[in-house]
Amino acid sequence: MSKPKIATASLAGCFGCHMSLLDIDERILDLVELVDFDKSPINDLKKFTGKVQIGLIEGGCSTDENVQVLRDFRRHCEILISVGDCATQGGIPAMRNTVPLLECLEEAYCNGPTVYNPSGAIPNDPEVPLLLDKVYPCHEVVKIDYFLPGCPPSADTLFQAIVALLKNEPVDLPYELIKYD
Amino acid sequence: MSNTITFSIDGKEIECKAGRTILDAAEENGIYIPRLCHRKGVSPHGSCRVCTVIANGKPMAACTTPVTPGMVVENDAEEVTAMRKAIIEMLFVEGNHFCMFCEKSGNCELQALAYRFGIAAPRYPYLFPHREIDFGHPDVFIDHNRCILCARCIRTSREIDGKEVLGFVERGPRKKVAANAEHGLRETEIAVGDEAMAACPVGALMPKHVGYQVPIGKREFDHEPIGSDIEKEAKASTK
């Protein structure tokens, strides 16, 4: 029987949660015994090879591309997990949510004190993902099965949750592993 | 003793002096009832409803409801816990609570209650309201993004510090704590040593210049849930 597969993605995140996953140190050897990595920045695989058992999502949805990737993950993953405060709450990128989008863009590309932009244009290339009106936590876009908050969630939190799911056990994390910072 | 009355919490018989609130009587007997707007030493407010218990079949705020003889109180019940979790989740979505960079993180009672109840993410959509920060005072600031309108600062400042520096203004979703001065905190007598500063359960009324002083791992709620001190006292005294 082939090993279960795991896929990961970073949407509007800082890759800190992926770094925390690497922080499981030598336990990563145990993890590769248990799973194969499918689409993930860790192995640089760009496309799903098929159905995967567990999807880990870092970051919330800030652009249309984030939403497409998230929906793609939902289609391919049996269990989808929001990892980190950006995925579960919007996090730092969601600080722009209290300011209208046009004001954010004007501050970044026109009015900011350190901006040098003689044309005064706001980037509008089809190659640049389109920003959403707000940054959305993942569960406001697709159904999410588990939440692992933290900035980032500790390596222990990630490892214990993933191993529990792979062993078909309940994800019952102790008090010290559910933290928002 | 005529002024002692007996009632029960979760089936446990408890004796207390007449006139005690459910919350105080429970605490004296080592039972922690979660609370946010209540603070020892100032008058109860009954506004956050986190301390809701079922008293004689009705949901009541434990911090404002006096115990009556024979009262049957449910505290550790599924229905009660569900209500409390819902309230805490609503408090998270209706403000802007960015724990990852908040100076209060680890010592925050709102966060600690979410930890105690094992809330991984709120079920409600985030509102992301636009709120102001009053940063004009040299030593003290109010970040309205984090304020949960518990009125602990207002009551503590009035009743303990003896100052008239803070109060509520406006109504409904626009309600907020305001300084009793035209241009905000800097024109008031609030001082960094005021008891009101220690009263804020979240990171709303905060001292300047001293952020992140306690490292992660040594903060108040890093290892033990809020309320553990009350529950521990009970265990120690029954041994």
- The rounded distance, in Å, linking the Cα atoms of B30 and A96 is 44
Assess whether the region B4-76 and the region B86-207 belong to the same CATH fold. Answer: no
Residues of A with CB under 8 A from a CB of B: 82, 85, 88-92, 94-95, 97-99, 134, 137, 139-140, 144, 146-149, 151, 175-176, 178-181
User: d(Cα A47, Cα B109) in Å, to the nearest integer?
Assistant: 44
For residues B140 and B197, is the Cβ–Cβ distance under 8 A? Answer: yes
pLDDT-above-90 percentage for chain B: 95
Could you confirm whether domain B86-207 is CATH 3.30.70.20?
A: yes
Percentage of chain B beyond pLDDT 70 is 98
| Chain B CA closest to residue A172 | B118
Q: Is residue A84 part of a domain?
A: yes
For the stretch A54-99, pLDDT in tens is: 999 999 999 999 999 999 999 999 999 999 999 999 999 999 999 9
Please give the helix or strand (H or E) that residue A32 lies within, else none. helix A27-34
Residue A103 lies in a domain: no
Is pLDDT of B221 > 80? Answer: yes
The pLDDT value given to residue B238: 62
Band of residue B236 on the pLDDT scale cut at 50, 70, 90:
confident
**Residue B239: predicted pLDDT:** 53
Domain that holds residue A169: 5-96+133-177
Chain B residue with the nearest C-alpha to that of A97: B128
Give the gap in angstroms from C-alpha B135 to the nearest C-alpha of chain A.
Answer: 18
Burial class (CB in 10 A: 0-12, 13-18, 19+), B113: buried
Domain assignment present for residue A67? The answer is yes
Q: What is the pLDDT of residues B13-43, one digit of tens each?
A: 999 999 999 999 999 999 999 999 999 999 9
Residue of B nearest to A150 (CA): B100
Could you tell me the CATH number of the domain that includes residue A19? Answer: 3.40.50.700
Are B105 and A134 an interchain contact pair (Cβ–Cβ within 8 Å)? no
Total structural domains within chain A? 1
Can you point out the beta strands (E) in chain B? Answer: 4-9, 12-17, 52-55, 58-61, 72-74, 133-134, 140-143, 166-169, 176-179, 205-207
In angstroms, the CA A61 to CA A119 distance is 29
φ, ψ of residue B184 in degrees (nearest 5): 85, -165
Type of residue at A53? Q
Average pLDDT taken over every residue of chain B: 95
Output the CA angle B75-A146-A58, nearest 5 degrees: 130
Query: Is B128 in Cβ contact with A179 (below 8 Å)?
Result: no
B216 pLDDT above the threshold of 70 = yes
Q: Name residues whose C-beta falls within 8 Å of residue B121's C-beta, 6 or more positions apart in sequence.
A: A82, A88, A89, A137, A139, A144, A147, A149
Contacts of A137 (CB under 8 A, 6+ apart): A60, A61, A82, A86, A87, A88, A89, A90, A94, B121, B126
Residue B131 is which amino acid?
R
- Tell whether A161 is covered by a domain: yes
The residues spanned by each domain of chain B are 4-76, 86-207
The predicted pLDDT at position B81 comes to: 97
Residue B1 has pLDDT above 90, yes or no: no
CB atoms B128 and A94 under 8 Å: yes
Question: Which positions in chain B have a beta carbon within 8 angstroms of at least one beta carbon in chain A?
Answer: 92, 96-102, 105-106, 111, 114-116, 118, 120-121, 125-126, 128-131, 145, 216, 222-225
Average of pLDDT values for A132-145?
Answer: 98
What is the band of B234 on the pLDDT scale with cuts at 50, 70, 90? confident
pLDDT tens-place string over residues B113-146: 999 999 999 999 999 999 999 999 999 999 999 9
ipTM of the complex: 0.93
Asked whether the beta carbons of residue A148 and residue B120 sit closer than 8 angstroms, the reply is: yes
A83 to chain B: closest CA residue: B120
Tell me whether residues A137 and B121 touch, CB distance under 8 A.
yes
So what CATH class is B4-76? alpha beta
